[in-house]
């Protein structure tokens, strides 16, 4: 493993505790405060991986971390339909952070391993004492949504309490969860958005321990896209491999003998998925998927072994993310900043379809976008909150609103308002002269 990877994945103090974390004494408490021998522990750790951390255990755990560390702050960024809190944890950042990283954990409520990795990583960074990690936290502002779908996690369901897949709501923003995440992305302007999931294997063609995928949407800036692939190829996958986990590209079936791709079953460029919305909104996005299925007879016999392996694969990949941020933070921030300003130049096509491995058809390309889209009063009244959550600039008057294309969110405007876009929210009237 690279020297910096181990140091950033777990600090010296946390490393000393790593072995007993999953075998804590029976009288340990998830809300325990830091002492010479004890740090707060999750319900997952206290049960040695048998049980996933419950919502009350998560709240107690985060409250204990917050009390015990001056590096951590916790905000309530929304509430679910069932009135569970949506929380945002802030760690580090110093006075002039180089880059901002946002972890979105457990959008799908029945995919808990990434959430467990996020929770323990919050704790490990909060109480780190070694100089290298302290410097990392001075340069990096880490934002974590530990449970992006609390109602789904409580019910162990993919969707939220209305059965909606939150990871298909990053354009329409019809869910409380999707709206909360959009507001965080708008206000915090993360340079990296890291989205943690799980998947069911299809052996022998699709059964790696860990898959990942960058934004495939063609509206992603070329330099942002390049950084996302670098994050995957040079940091996350090597980190997972060094920890003993196999890796691959999400959505691509491969020949078990030659390793050649056979077909694509998922991982397209549709804009409503967070991985792609991240790229459109100028962030280096990466989707992470750990394998749910047992890898051995021992895991089949003891589900805690399966649980711990899934969490371990997610934790190792997070180490790669942190090394990437530490080494390339300035370059990444320069790429995302430049991407945000490119829309003001108002040049180039906007893509309504296609992907980085699937060229857009001519009908899916707006070669010369209009100056803007006109919304009548009723349309604007219906959409003004969503436009604001997306950070889209509008010009209002007594009869409705003009949404100019020349703005930071240039590519997003046609995706929201052009009737040819697959997930458009309204049929805006194209305006050729603003």
Residue-wise pLDDT tens digits, 218-262:
999 999 999 999 999 999 999 999 999 999 999 999 999 999 999
Rounded Cα–Cα distance for residues 217 and 143 (Å): 24
Q: How far is it, in rounded angstroms, from Cα 204 to Cα 199? A: 15
What pLDDT score does 28 carry?
31
Range list of β-strands (E), 9-128: 72-79, 85-92, 99-105
Q: How many CA atoms lie within 13 A of 80 on its CB side?
A: 22
> Could you give the CA distance from residue 247 to residue 249 in angstroms, rounded to a whole number?
7
Report whether 53 contacts 146 (CB < 8 A).
no
Contact 257, 222 (CB under 8 A): no
For the segment 278-332, what is each residue's pLDDT rounded down to a tens digit? Answer: 999 999 999 999 999 999 999 999 999 999 999 999 999 999 999 999 999 999 9
In whole angstroms, give the CA distance from residue 163 to residue 286: 25
Q: Give the CA distances from residue 6 to residues 36, 130, 243, in Å, rounded to whole numbers and listed in that order.
A: 23, 12, 10
What is the rounded distance in angstroms from the CA atom of residue 144 to the CA atom of residue 118?
Answer: 7
**Listed residue (198, 200, 108) closest to 156, CA to CA:** 108
Q: Are 42 and 116 in contact (CB under 8 A)?
A: yes
Confidence of residue 24 (pLDDT cuts 50, 70, 90): very low
Residue-wise pLDDT tens digits, 68-120:
999 999 999 999 999 999 999 999 987 789 999 999 999 999 999 999 999 99
pLDDT score at 434:
84
pLDDT at 95: 79
Distance CA 421, CA 335 (A): 27
Inter-helix orientation angle 303-342/131-139, to 10° = 40
The model carries a pTM of 0.92
Instruction: Tell me the residue ranges of DSSP E strands in 113-201.
Output: 140-145, 192-199
Beta strands 372-376 and 429-431 are antiparallel
Q: Is the pLDDT of residue 133 over 50?
A: yes
Going by their DSSP bridges, the two strands 99-105 and 192-199 should be labelled as parallel
Sign of CA dihedral 39, 44, 46, 49: negative
338 and 221 Cβ atoms separated by less than 8 Å: yes
Cα–Cα distance between 415 and 49 in angstroms, integer? 43
Q: Are 247 and 237 in contact (CB under 8 A)?
A: yes
Give the C-alpha distances (Å, rounded to integers) separating 78 from 91, 180, 297. Answer: 19, 6, 42
Task: Enter the CATH code of domain 3-340.
Answer: 3.40.630.10
341-349: average pLDDT = 96
* pLDDT tens sequence across 173-230: 999 999 999 999 999 999 999 999 999 999 999 999 999 999 999 999 999 999 999 9
For residue range 146-159, what is the model confidence (pLDDT) as tens digits? 999 999 999 999 99
Q: Which helix (H) or strand (E) holds 227?
A: helix 222-230
Residue 37 has pLDDT above 90, yes or no: no
How far is Cα 324 from Cα 68, in angstroms, rounded to an integer?
28
> 398 falls in which pLDDT band (50, 70, 90)?
confident
CA distance 42 to 58: 7
**Residue 286 Cα to chain centre, angstroms:** 7
Closest C-alpha among 184, 195, 194 to residue 90: 184
**Phi/psi of residue 319, each to 5°?**
-60, -40
Domain ranges across the chain: 3-340, 350-431
- Give the per-residue pLDDT at 20: 29
Residue 43 has pLDDT above 80, yes or no: yes
The answer to whether residue 29 scores a pLDDT higher than 90 is no
Cα of first residue to Cα of last residue in the chain, in angstroms, is 55
């Amino acid at each position: 493993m690279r020297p910096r990877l181990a140091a950033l994945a777990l600090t010296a103090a946390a490393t000393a505790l790593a072995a007993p974390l999953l075998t804590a004494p029976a009288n340990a408490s998830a809300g325990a405060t830091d002492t010479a021998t004890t740090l707060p522990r999750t319900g997952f750790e206290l049960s040695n991986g048998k049980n996933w951390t419950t919502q009350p255990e998560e709240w107690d755990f985060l409250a204990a971390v917050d009390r015990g560390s001056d590096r951590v702050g916790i905000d309530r960024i929304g509430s679910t339909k069932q009135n569970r809190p949506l929380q945002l944890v802030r760690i580090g950042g110093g006075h002039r952070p180089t880059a901002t990283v946002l972890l979105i954990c457990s959008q799908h409520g029945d995919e808990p391993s990434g959430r467990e990795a996020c929770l323990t990583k919050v704790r490990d960074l909060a109480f780190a004492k070694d100089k290298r990690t302290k410097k990392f936290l001075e340069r990096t502002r880490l934002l974590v949504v530990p449970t992006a779908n609390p109602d789904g996690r409580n019910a162990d369901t993919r969707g939220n309490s209305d059965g909606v897949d939150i990871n298909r709501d990053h354009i329409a923003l019809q869910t409380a969860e999707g709206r909360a995440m959009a507001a965080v992305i708008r206000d915090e302007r993360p340079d990296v958005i890291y989205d943690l999931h799980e998947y069911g294997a299809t052996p022998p063609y699709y059964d790696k321990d860990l898959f990942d995928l960058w934004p495939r949407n063609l509206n992603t800036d070329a330099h942002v896209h390049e950084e996302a692939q670098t994050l995957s190829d040079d940091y996350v996958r090597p980190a997972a491999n060094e920890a003993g986990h196999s890796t691959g590209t999400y959505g691509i079936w491969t020949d078990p003998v030659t390793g050649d791709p056979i077909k694509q079953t998922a991982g397209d460029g549709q804009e409503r998925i967070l991985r792609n919305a991240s790229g459109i909104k100028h962030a280096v996005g990466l989707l992470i998927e750990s394998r749910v299925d047992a890898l051995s007879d021992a895991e089949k016999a003891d589900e805690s072994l399966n649980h711990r392996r899934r969490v371990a694969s997610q934790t190792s990949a997070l180490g790669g993310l942190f090394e990437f941020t530490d080494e390339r933070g300035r370059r990444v921030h320069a790429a995302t900043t430049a991407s945000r300003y490119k829309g003001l130049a108002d040049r180039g096509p906007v893509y309504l379809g296609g992907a980085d491995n699937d060229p857009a058809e001519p009908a899916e390309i707006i070669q010369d976008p209009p100056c803007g889209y006109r919304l009548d009063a009723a349309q604007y009244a219906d959409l003004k909150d969503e436009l604001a959550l997306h950070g889209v600039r509008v010009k209002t008057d007594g009869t409705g609103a003009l949404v100019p294309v020349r703005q930071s969110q240039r590519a997003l405007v046609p995706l929201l308002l052009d009737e040819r876009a697959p997930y458009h929210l309204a049929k805006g009237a194209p305006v050729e002269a603003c």
